[in-house]
Amino acid sequence: MTESSTNREQDATIAAHWREEALIEPPAVFVRQANANSVDIYERMSEDKFPGCFDEYARLLDWSRPWERTLDDDRPPFFRWFVGGELNASYNCIDRHLEGAGDKVAFHFVPEREDEPARSLTYADLYREVNELAAVLREDFGLKRGDRVTLYLPMTLELPIVMLACARLGVIHSAVFSGYSGQACADRINDSQSRVLITMDAYYRGGKLLDHNVKAEEAARLSDDCLEHCLVFRRHAGEYHSEAPMQAPRDRFADELLAERRGAEVAPEPMRSEDTLFLMYTSGTTGKPKGAQHSTGGYLTWATATSKYVLDLKPGDVYWCMADIGWITGHSYIVYGPLALGVTSVLFEGAPTVPDAGRPWRIVEQYGVEVFHTSPTAVRALRKADPDLPKQYNLKFRSMTTVGEPIEPEVWHWYRDAIGGGEAVITDTWWQTETGGHLITTLPGVTPMKPGSAGPALPGIYPVIYDEEGSPVQPGQRRAGNICIRNPWPGRMLTIWGDDERFVRTYYERYNRDPESRDWRDWPYLAGDGAIQSEDGYYRILGRIDDVINVAGHRLGTKELESACLTVEAVSEAAVVAVHDPVKGVLPEAYVSLKPGYAAETVGADVVGRIVEMIGPIARPRRVWVVEDVPKTRSGKIMRRVLSALSEGRDTGDVSTLANPEVVETIRRRIADETGG
Ligand code: WTA
């Protein structure tokens, strides 16, 4: 039996211990007003109508040139959608709303500090600011379609403005989460060969004004010759809150350049549907992050249609997605989807529990937020802070969404009762950076909810669970397998930036029936998650089957963490495993062994420091165990499964076939001694 199948069996056992929850119908008042409130939508998107059924979604957008072919599947798995069509994402998110809704607020920007005034930006303001910035990017930096720009920006209005300015010019943006280290940012600048880095001097997070430009400066210093300029926004007009000196001529203040472009207008560049809109880096099973390369027409179609039917957004809504725009959730469900639908959103700079766990609810009351979107981690943190607190506020949510990890039924019920007043619909959406938007979720006005299960597949999406041998696992068998999507869909990434071969290998090779086949039916997409399907067709997602750790909804590659450990001089071997945590869901724990002649002394602290420096504080391990040796198979493969069982005090199963079974007992005793277990 392979290591991964043993893992999954364990997952399956865990899953089977979960009580199968009953279905919960959405309230009638919700159904009446929902954008999708009839099973018709599943019929309109039935498999015999594929791929033409997706034209309906593409028509939610304005195209400057209509498409000629819905799906070009001549060269699987490099599918292209709405071919022949031309459109501009910035036009669809801004210009088309100006007539009639120019005065409507696009974003209410709420700073972390409660004493700093909020700022509401209308669609007309957004138009002006995006155009002026597009003029700077084009005139001052000579950026043109196809060029890459890395955005290293916090959750302030500048981030969506910069994204849309890039989209206006056909420049490919690559946003890097602001919590990442300078080095992680540099890796992404170099991989994408970005010409410009756009950043900010500082921002507020966790009650502090963080110096951000020191990290951006490090990123610029470590980047290849590709980087020509840094454009630096200032968090407070006219002030500069960074220790890093601006370096002429490389670094320029955004406000100074924008002052020269007041009132500038830049015509939206007509982009081909299959042209790249952005890159979003995500962790893989090797140390090198992969740039998910998303298209303009297919991606925007998917983000818009799912915002409409899953989030149930209407033009009159005030909506708040608490994710960070530096991740895919923010791209699809703060920026592109909601703006394409002309919705008003809250954009919040801060952390949800600063200065206290009532902060989100004060914001919700102030702006009358009705549709709310967050992660299970945030829900768990709010629940831990004070389970009764939300009841003190006047919350009237119609719809609440989660994403990023499985949500435990207990947490689900608290979310619905304490925050949703027992009335809101809860939508648990399963998808990935690579998929562009939701794939498995209930349609809140059509399909009933089921705590702990993401739901059935969306209309037009046809999943299958395969076992190790490639046979489909039938629903209701209580057996887990690898979840795959049988058919192409518009939101899927085009490829991995610069690495078509890795794209095919990672997502398609495993279950491909014939590498020469030109039939999409032979190319199921491997998501990399384990899943179980119950008899009623609902999917329960069990987590990653590969070596990716999902911390608080952030994906970290085991290999990335291990390679950071190995940069500590004393460390000879490192294994990083995921351990369950009541708040974060999962946290990394590191096992390192030392080179001969080195003492353990500061190694634990050095490893933590190095991980934080190279990846960022989100990757901070819960513990570092300095051990003599790590358990390995005879072929030298580190048995992370055994280590994670040890970390969690579980049974390791049979270890007699390992190359070094004795180390298991040694480590177990160490852990018991040090944790008093
Ligand atoms: C996990 C986030 C269970 C899953 C949009 C997936 C989930 C990975 C859910 C993608 C969910 C996401 N239930 N697990 N509703 N949503 N995941 O690329 O393991 O940051 O493969 O995209 O998160 O993470 P990513």
DSSP annotation of 317:
-
pLDDT at residue 15, as a whole number: 43
Place of tokens 């203040």: 253
Query: Among 94, 76, 5, which Cα is nearest to 519's?
Result: 76
Tell me the two tokens of residue 5.
């199948």
Tell me the two tokens of residue 400.
């609440």
pLDDT at residue 19, as a whole number: 62
Whether 447 lines ligand 1, by a CB cut-off of 6 Å, is no
In angstroms, rounded to a whole number, what is the distance separating the alpha carbons of residues 340 and 473?
38
Whether 454 lines ligand 1, by a CB cut-off of 6 Å, is yes
In angstroms, rounded to a whole number, what is the distance separating the alpha carbons of residues 374 and 415?
10
Best residue among 282, 373, 405 to mutate for probing ligand 1's pocket (most ligand atoms within 8 Å of CB) is 405
Q: Does residue 11 carry a pLDDT above 50? A: no
Give the whole-number percent of the chain exceeding pLDDT 70: 96
The string of pLDDT tens digits covering residues 379-424 is 988 988 888 999 999 999 999 999 988 888 888 999 999 999 999 9
Reported pTM: 0.91
Tell me whether residue 379 is exposed, middle or buried, using C-beta atoms within 10 angstroms of its C-beta: 0 to 12, 13 to 18, 19 or more: buried
Q: Are 437 and 337 in contact (CB under 8 A)?
A: yes
Whether 550 lines ligand 1, by a CB cut-off of 6 Å, is yes
Alpha-carbon distances, residue 145 vs 61, 140, 278, 376 (angstroms): 21, 15, 12, 38
Distance 114 CA to ligand 1 centre (A): 32
* Polymer length of the chain: 677
Q: Does residue 344 carry a pLDDT above 50? A: yes
Query: What pairing do the DSSP bridges indicate for beta strands 399-403 and 554-557?
Result: unpaired
Whether 401 lines ligand 1, by a CB cut-off of 6 Å, is no
Query: Among 507, 607, 624, which Cα is nearest to 565's?
Result: 607
pLDDT at residue 289, as a whole number: 84
Count CB neighbours of 462 within 10 A. Answer: 17
Best residue among 332, 550, 551, 554 to mutate for probing ligand 1's pocket (most ligand atoms within 8 Å of CB) is 550
Distance 429 CA to ligand 1 centre (A): 8
In angstroms, rounded to a whole number, what is the distance separating the alpha carbons of residues 448 and 455?
9
Distance 561 CA to ligand 1 centre (A): 19
In angstroms, rounded to a whole number, what is the distance separating the alpha carbons of residues 447 and 26?
8
In angstroms, rounded to a whole number, what is the distance separating the alpha carbons of residues 419 and 394?
10
Query: Among 419, 429, 617, which Cα is nearest to 541's?
Result: 429
Alpha-carbon distances, residue 57 vs 298, 304, 325, 525 (angstroms): 10, 8, 24, 21
Distance 404 CA to ligand 1 centre (A): 4
Sign of torsion over alpha carbons 114, 115, 116, 122: positive
Q: Does residue 348 carry a pLDDT above 50? A: yes
Measured by CA distance, the residue closest to atom 22 of ligand 1 is: 432
Query: What pairing do the DSSP bridges indicate for beta strands 399-403 and 425-429?
Result: parallel
- Looking at the DSSP bridge assignments, the partners of residue 556 are 549
Query: Among 281, 148, 215, which Cα is nearest to 560's?
Result: 281
Which is higher by pLDDT, 6 or 89?
Answer: 89
Amino acid identity of 631? Answer: P
Whether 374 lines ligand 1, by a CB cut-off of 6 Å, is no
Whether 432 lines ligand 1, by a CB cut-off of 6 Å, is yes
Distance 403 CA to ligand 1 centre (A): 6
pLDDT at residue 18, as a whole number: 54
The string of pLDDT tens digits covering residues 524-575 is 999 999 899 999 999 998 777 877 788 777 777 787 788 889 889 999 888 9
Whether 544 lines ligand 1, by a CB cut-off of 6 Å, is yes
pLDDT at residue 285, as a whole number: 63
Whether 433 lines ligand 1, by a CB cut-off of 6 Å, is yes
> pLDDT category, 477, cuts 50, 70, 90?
confident
Helices within 386-439 (DSSP H only)? 409-414
Q: Are 354 and 207 in contact (CB under 8 A)?
A: yes
pLDDT at residue 17, as a whole number: 44
Q: What is the mean pLDDT of residues 455-471?
A: 96
In angstroms, rounded to a whole number, what is the distance separating the alpha carbons of residues 222 and 215?
11
In angstroms, rounded to a whole number, what is the distance separating the alpha carbons of residues 335 and 617?
25
Tell me the two tokens of residue 486.
């049988």
Whether 555 lines ligand 1, by a CB cut-off of 6 Å, is yes
Q: Does residue 107 carry a pLDDT above 80? A: yes
Closest ligand 1 atom to the C-alpha of 555?
Answer: 20
Give the whole-number percent of the chain exceeding pLDDT 90: 78
> pLDDT category, 677, cuts 50, 70, 90?
low
Best residue among 430, 458, 584 to mutate for probing ligand 1's pocket (most ligand atoms within 8 Å of CB) is 430
The string of pLDDT tens digits covering residues 113-171 is 999 999 999 999 999 999 999 999 999 999 999 999 999 999 999 999 999 999 999 99
Closest ligand 1 atom to the C-alpha of 402?
Answer: 15
With a CB cutoff of 8 Å and minimum separation 6, the contacts of 537 are: 456, 475
User: 638's torsion region: left (phi>0), alpha (psi -120 to 50) or beta?
Assistant: beta
Q: Does residue 445 carry a pLDDT above 80? A: yes
The string of pLDDT tens digits covering residues 211-236 is 999 999 999 999 989 999 999 999 99
Q: Are 147 and 252 in contact (CB under 8 A)?
A: no
The string of pLDDT tens digits covering residues 42-62 is 999 999 999 999 999 999 999
Closest ligand 1 atom to the C-alpha of 407?
Answer: 13
With a CB cutoff of 8 Å and minimum separation 6, the contacts of 673 are: none
How many Cα atoms are found within 13 Å in the side-chain-facing hemisphere of 428? 25
Q: Does residue 82 carry a pLDDT above 70? A: yes
Sign of torsion over alpha carbons 337, 340, 341, 344: positive
Distance 464 CA to ligand 1 centre (A): 17
Kindly give the interhelix angle for 640-647 and 3-17, rounded to the nearest 10 degrees. Answer: 40
Whether 328 lines ligand 1, by a CB cut-off of 6 Å, is yes
Q: Does residue 9 carry a pLDDT above 70? A: no
Closest ligand 1 atom to the C-alpha of 527?
Answer: 21
Distance 528 CA to ligand 1 centre (A): 10
Distance 408 CA to ligand 1 centre (A): 14
Distance 405 CA to ligand 1 centre (A): 5
Distance 544 CA to ligand 1 centre (A): 9
Whether 404 lines ligand 1, by a CB cut-off of 6 Å, is yes
Count CB neighbours of 129 within 10 A. Answer: 20
Distance 431 CA to ligand 1 centre (A): 5
Whether 406 lines ligand 1, by a CB cut-off of 6 Å, is yes
Whether 429 lines ligand 1, by a CB cut-off of 6 Å, is yes
Q: Does residue 322 carry a pLDDT above 50? A: yes
Q: Does residue 16 carry a pLDDT above 70? A: no
Distance 16 CA to ligand 1 centre (A): 20
> pLDDT category, 370, cuts 50, 70, 90?
very high
Q: Are 67 and 85 in contact (CB under 8 A)?
A: yes
Measured by CA distance, the residue closest to atom 7 of ligand 1 is: 405
Distance 155 CA to ligand 1 centre (A): 21
Place of tokens 């007003």: 33
User: 116's torsion region: left (phi>0), alpha (psi -120 to 50) or beta?
Assistant: beta
> pLDDT category, 203, cuts 50, 70, 90?
very high
Kindly give the interhelix angle for 158-169 and 123-139, rounded to the nearest 10 degrees. Answer: 60
Q: Does residue 72 carry a pLDDT above 90? A: yes
Q: Are 235 and 241 in contact (CB under 8 A)?
A: yes
With a CB cutoff of 8 Å and minimum separation 6, the contacts of 167 are: 88, 89, 90, 93, 173, 277, 278, 296
Helices within 19-153 (DSSP H only)? 28-33, 40-44, 55-58, 89-90, 96-101, 123-139
Q: Does residue 3 carry a pLDDT above 50? A: no
User: 611's torsion region: left (phi>0), alpha (psi -120 to 50) or beta?
Assistant: alpha
